Chains A and B, each alone.
Chain A
Amino acid sequence: MNHLLSWRAPLLSLIVFLLLIGVWHALTLPKSSAPQTVGSEYAALVGAEASTGQKSAFPSPADVGRKILEHLREPFYDRGPNDKGIGIQLAYSIVRVMIGYLLAAMVAIPVGFLIGMSPTVYRALDPYIQVLKPISPLAWMPLALFTLKDSSVSAIFVIFICSLWPMLINTAFGVSSVRREWLNVSRTLEVGHLRTALRVILPAAAPTIMTGMRISISIAWLVIVAAEMLVGGTGIGYFVWNEWNNLSITNIITAILAIGLVGMLLDLMMAKLTKLVTFTE
């Protein structure tokens, strides 16, 4: 029974996948090859669809598949500063996300810890956090470019500022909701402040902190694409923008899949880490 169940989910996944591809394929079938409405000399100057009086079409799954294979065959090519393989672009983005994210963690966790320890500070800073939290990364961008005067630093700053808040709030929340009894026990045993923080509060709040970190990495990955589309240069966001410029939907779909896959891997990684610190009472 159990054996059978474990097969059911992947099978269903496969069916959903085939269904999606099937519908996509059916929708993008070439419309009953319309006769060419213009001379052949004119047709040579325009795209295939325009020569039959239509707009250029959405690519079929086969087109996208071919494009993906093409990218997989050569993911790390480098043909100058504006044309690099998708692997190199992803690497640029991941490095940026990691720098911004780790900086945010280095600030958010200690600050969140301090805020969480004192209910007064928590309440005093809460309005600021609530106002700053929902600001879109792209709203920060002009300000960052103007003040930091460097586009790659600005991109990292935007990652930093957007992944800061979930970590900060979750850390503060986790720290403030450590069970009273545990703190009382440590006080009864006359444990020092630092030791209480590191040996009692930190392990108790760790799962909540990790949840915050998991949310943050997803946000950071969301943000990088938008930020790179805006500042350009390198990264997967720039790749999407550059292919949009060329109206190459096949490349954009390829990039979307790659972004999704990397996002999933980052999330899985954080999920594994969260498991390490989770405890049951």
Chain B
Amino acid sequence: MSAFKDPFDASTSLTRGCSCGRHTSEADHQADLAGQTSDSELLGNRVVEAAVMRALFPEDATRRRFINAVGASTAMAAISSLFPLGMAKEAFAQSGNLEKTSLKVGFIPITCATPIIMSQPMGFYARQGLNVDVVKTAGWAVIRDKTINKEYDAAHMLSPMPIAITLGVGANAIPYTVPAIENINGQAITLSIKHKDKRDPKSWKGFKFAVPFDYSIHNYLLRYYLAEHGLDPDRDVQIRSVPPPEMVANLRADNIDGFLAPDPVNQRAVYDGVGFIHTLTKDLWPGHPCCAFAASKEFVTKMPNTYRALMKAIMEATAFAAKPENRKQIAEAIAPANYLNQPVTVVEQVLTGTYADGLGNIKKDPDRIDFDPFPWHSFAIWIMSQMKRWGQIKGDVDYAKVAREVFLATDAMKLMKEAGMKPPATTTKKFSVMGKEFDPAKPDAYIASFAIKRT
């Protein structure tokens, strides 16, 4: 069921292809239809109705039977009595005054933060009437504390962090949200140049690795990768958490043998001749999420208009960054000392995907990094499955509930549409990591299927 379809219409097709027959899929049909609908308020209402209906009737067939049995208007009235539909629609449609126009948004100087950073020099924030200061921050723990302390209104975080904060692991439990993912792919395993002949992970016993943070997709991917090659990430190697800007210096000083890090750190290691890129993480899990745009639940509920304007800016920036032809221009905008503080060529190699690998080859991977804001619930569930696999969370977890509360997929759908992007029709999908399929409906079975785990 699509977000923009009338959920009280029992006659639309549920099978493949679209209801009018002119489009290859229902999503395309909806996108076309949404383009024609000029009344955005109506569209907003749809999104809210659809979200509520989807929550009440996860099965399309059940919903249909219900509507056929009682009639659309009765169904709507019945649901309104259970759920304040009017209020939800109103909250969503409001585009009133901004509660606050001067905002501070924290970021870590890595290319994952591209949409957050570029919105400042390239005017995406200004277009929404916001005056945003993007503030460079020294590390993940500091960015977490400064956001919790409300010094920052919103911040760039690693996508597992808001989940960890919400669950209260590694910090006091505070309800946190991810209104948008920033980037997909864009990480790599880099090894010290002295290991250029040790390309087989089985020969990595005793290595010291760095990851940006304990609660990072990097940590989970590196552990996954090592475990798939038979190494126990807790016993056979050492994994420590090092802030990205300090990784190259540590690799140079031989403190670590390699890292799974965000760019431009990997490319910088190549630029300085201290390391080579062993593998891009997109080859482990194509389209994996990395960093997220995060805000406290309080900010989202107390300043809905500001939140919407901010998200709109981020969505538009993300849509702009997703186009390969814009990447060079973005690299020039975000490389200066005020933002990433890196040579332009390093940032450009990361964003364009034509790069030196550190071993004398020039590689071309146009999707080395990509930008897709949609916060899939299945991403959150996978992250939690790995938190549980490595003993970061114990006991039973209501995966779907936490995913729904933290990853704001419904809002993202509407905002993506407004930014001219095509949101997906569902909030979960199956995907595979290193060839092994993950079914978001059965996370516990997934965890149980691994040989190396800490449960």
Q: Tell me whether B362 and A247 are in contact (CB under 8 A).
A: no
Q: Tell me whether B151 and A246 are in contact (CB under 8 A).
A: no
Q: Is the C-beta of B336 less than 8 angstroms from some C-beta in chain A?
A: yes
Q: Tell me whether B337 and A82 are in contact (CB under 8 A).
A: yes
Q: Tell me whether B142 and A50 are in contact (CB under 8 A).
A: no
CA distance A267 to B249 in the complex (A): 32
Q: Tell me whether B134 and A81 are in contact (CB under 8 A).
A: yes
Q: Report chain B residues within 8 Å CB of A41.
A: 362
Main secondary structure of the interface of A (DSSP, over half): loop
Q: Tell me whether B138 and A47 are in contact (CB under 8 A).
A: no
Q: Tell me whether B338 and A79 are in contact (CB under 8 A).
A: yes
Q: Report chain B residues within 8 Å CB of A130.
A: none
Which chain B residue shows the least CB distance to A48? Answer: B273
Which chain B residue shows the least CB distance to A243? Answer: B341
Q: Tell me whether B252 and A82 are in contact (CB under 8 A).
A: no
CA distance A55 to B269 in the complex (A): 9
Q: Report chain B residues within 8 Å CB of A82.
A: 134-136, 337-339
Which chain B residue shows the least CB distance to A45? Answer: B356
Q: Is the C-beta of A33 less than 8 angstroms from some C-beta in chain B?
A: no
Q: Report chain A residues within 8 Å CB of B271.
A: 45-47, 50, 56
Q: Tell me whether B362 and A45 are in contact (CB under 8 A).
A: yes
Q: Report chain A residues within 8 Å CB of B109.
A: 245
Q: Tell me whether A37 and B273 are in contact (CB under 8 A).
A: no
Residues of A214-241 whose CB lies within 8 A of B = 229-233, 238, 241
Contact with B along A81-118 (1 / 0, CB 8 A): 11100000000000000000000000000000000000
Q: Is the C-beta of B345 less than 8 angstroms from some C-beta in chain A?
A: yes
Q: Tell me whether A241 and B245 are in contact (CB under 8 A).
A: yes
Which chain B residue shows the least CB distance to A52? Answer: B273
With A41-B362, A49-B272, A50-B273 as known contacts, state yes or no: A244 contacts B246, CB within 8 Å.
yes
Q: Is the C-beta of A31 less than 8 angstroms from some C-beta in chain B?
A: no
Q: Tell me whether A46 and B138 are in contact (CB under 8 A).
A: no
Q: Is the C-beta of A119 less than 8 angstroms from some C-beta in chain B?
A: no
* Interchain CB contact (< 8 A) of A150 among B133, B149, B274: B149
Which chain A residue shows the least CB distance to B150? Answer: A149
With A45-B345, A149-B149 as known contacts, state yes or no: A83 contacts B362, CB within 8 Å.
no
The smallest C-beta distance from B97 to any residue of chain A, in angstroms, reads 26
Q: Tell me whether B248 and A242 are in contact (CB under 8 A).
A: no
Q: Is the C-beta of A10 less than 8 angstroms from some C-beta in chain B?
A: no
Q: Report chain A residues within 8 Å CB of B146.
A: 145, 151
CA distance A55 to B275 in the complex (A): 9
The smallest C-beta distance from A252 to any residue of chain B, in angstroms, reads 10
Which chain B residue shows the least CB distance to A228? Answer: B138
Which chain B residue shows the least CB distance to A246? Answer: B341
Q: Is the C-beta of B360 less than 8 angstroms from some C-beta in chain A?
A: yes
Chain A CB within 10 A, most for which of B149, B249, B342: B149
Q: Report chain B residues within 8 Å CB of A243.
A: 341
Q: Tell me whether B341 and A232 are in contact (CB under 8 A).
A: no
The smallest C-beta distance from A82 to any residue of chain B, in angstroms, reads 4
* Interchain CB contact (< 8 A) of A81 among B135, B245, B274, B342: B135
Q: Is the C-beta of B59 less than 8 angstroms from some C-beta in chain A?
A: no
Q: Is the C-beta of A80 less than 8 angstroms from some C-beta in chain B?
A: yes
Q: Report chain A residues within 8 Å CB of B249.
A: 244, 247
* Interchain CB contact (< 8 A) of B252 among A38, A55, A231: A55
Q: Report chain B residues within 8 Å CB of A247.
A: 248-249, 268, 272
Contact with B along A146-179 (1 / 0, CB 8 A): 1001110000000000000000000000000000
Q: Tell me whether B356 and A55 are in contact (CB under 8 A).
A: no
With A55-B252, A242-B341 as known contacts, state yes or no: A229 contacts B138, CB within 8 Å.
yes
Q: Report chain B residues within 8 Å CB of A146.
A: 145
The smallest C-beta distance from B329 to any residue of chain A, in angstroms, reads 18
Contact with A along B334-364 (1 / 0, CB 8 A): 0011110111010001000001101011100
Q: Report chain A residues within 8 Å CB of B412.
A: none
Chain B CB within 10 A, most for which of A41, A79, A241: A241
Q: Tell me whether B342 and A230 are in contact (CB under 8 A).
A: no
Q: Tell me whether A232 and B149 are in contact (CB under 8 A).
A: no
CA distance A237 to B414 in the complex (A): 43
Residues of A38-66 whose CB lies within 8 A of B = 38-39, 41-42, 44-47, 49-50, 53-56
The smallest C-beta distance from B183 to any residue of chain A, in angstroms, reads 19
Q: Tell me whether A230 and B360 are in contact (CB under 8 A).
A: no
CA distance A44 to B354 in the complex (A): 12
Q: Report chain A residues within 8 Å CB of B270.
A: 46, 50
The smallest C-beta distance from B196 to any residue of chain A, in angstroms, reads 11
Chain B CB within 10 A, most for which of A50, A83, A233, A245: A245
Residues of B358-388 whose CB lies within 8 A of A = 358, 360-362
The smallest C-beta distance from B285 to any residue of chain A, in angstroms, reads 26
Q: Is the C-beta of B12 less than 8 angstroms from some C-beta in chain A?
A: no
Q: Report chain B residues within 8 Å CB of A246.
A: 337, 341-342
Residues of B246-279 whose CB lies within 8 A of A = 246, 248-249, 252, 268, 270-274
Q: Tell me whether B135 and A245 are in contact (CB under 8 A).
A: no
Q: Is the C-beta of B137 less than 8 angstroms from some C-beta in chain A?
A: yes
Q: Tell me whether A49 and B341 are in contact (CB under 8 A).
A: no
Q: Tell me whether A230 and B142 are in contact (CB under 8 A).
A: yes
Q: Tell me whether B150 and A49 are in contact (CB under 8 A).
A: no
Q: Tell me whether A44 and B273 are in contact (CB under 8 A).
A: no
Q: Report chain B residues within 8 Å CB of A44.
A: 345
CA distance A39 to B137 in the complex (A): 38
Which chain B residue shows the least CB distance to A146? Answer: B145
Q: Tell me whether A45 and B355 are in contact (CB under 8 A).
A: yes
Contact with A along B283-316 (1 / 0, CB 8 A): 0000000000000000000000000000000000
Which chain B residue shows the least CB distance to A239? Answer: B337
Q: Report chain A residues within 8 Å CB of B339.
A: 82
Which chain B residue shows the least CB distance to A78? Answer: B338
With A37-B360, A42-B360, A46-B273 as known contacts, state yes or no: A80 contacts B345, CB within 8 Å.
no
* Interchain CB contact (< 8 A) of B337 among A38, A83, A229: A83
Contact with A along B130-161 (1 / 0, CB 8 A): 00011111110110011001110000000000
Binding site for A on B (CB under 8 A): 109, 120, 133-139, 141-142, 145-146, 149-151, 193, 245-246, 248-249, 252, 268, 270-274, 336-339, 341-343, 345, 349, 355-356, 358, 360-362
Known: A82-B338, A242-B341. 18 other contacts (CB 8 A): A39-B362, A41-B362, A45-B349, A50-B271, A50-B273, A53-B273, A55-B252, A80-B338, A81-B133, A81-B136, A82-B135, A230-B138, A232-B137, A241-B245, A242-B337, A245-B341, A246-B342, A247-B249
A-B contact list, 14 entries, CB within 8 Å: A45-B349, A47-B271, A50-B273, A55-B252, A80-B338, A81-B134, A82-B134, A149-B150, A151-B146, A232-B135, A238-B138, A241-B245, A242-B337, A247-B272
